[in-house]
């Protein structure tokens, strides 16, 4: 039973690998699709960034807010 399940799993994984290979070979660019958030154009269009970029944006907003408010009790 275990051997049959193992064989079926290997066959399905083999089909998946062959499917990806065929897609990569027969597309125009021939490149694997970009999966990193920071390099994906569609995600950038929707203003979805990686966590490091999100943190920089938030930090810049906080700095701008603190500068515009001037000195406050939190700086004491």
pLDDT at 12 (0 to 100): 97
| Biggest CA pair distance of the chain | 73
CB 59 within 8 A of CB 51: no
Does 20 lie in the same domain as 3?
yes
Does 40 lie in the same domain as 56?
yes
Q: What's the whole-number mean pLDDT along residues 62-66?
A: 87
| 53 closest CA partner among 62, 45, 44 | 44
Q: What's the whole-number mean pLDDT along residues 11-38?
A: 80
Global pTM? 0.41
Strand (E) or helix (H) holding 70: none
Range of the domain at 4: 1-32
pLDDT at 53 (0 to 100): 85
Q: What are 28-61's pLDDT values in tens digits?
A: 666 666 677 777 788 888 888 888 888 998 999 9
Does 25 lie in the same domain as 3?
yes
Does 27 lie in the same domain as 2?
yes
The phi, psi pair for 56, rounded to 5°, reads: -65, -40
pLDDT at 71 (0 to 100): 60
Does 18 lie in the same domain as 44?
no
| 42 closest CA partner among 33, 32, 53 | 33
């Amino acid at each position: 039973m275990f051997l049959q399940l193992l064989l079926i799993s290997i066959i399905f994984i083999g089909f998946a690998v062959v499917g990806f290979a065929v897609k990569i070979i027969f597309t125009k660019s021939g490149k694997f699709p970009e999966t990193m958030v920071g390099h994906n154009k569609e995600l950038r269009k929707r203003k979805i960034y990686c966590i490091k970029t999100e943190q920089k944006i938030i930090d810049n907003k906080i700095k701008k807010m603190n500068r515009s408010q001037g000195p406050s009790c939190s700086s004491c």
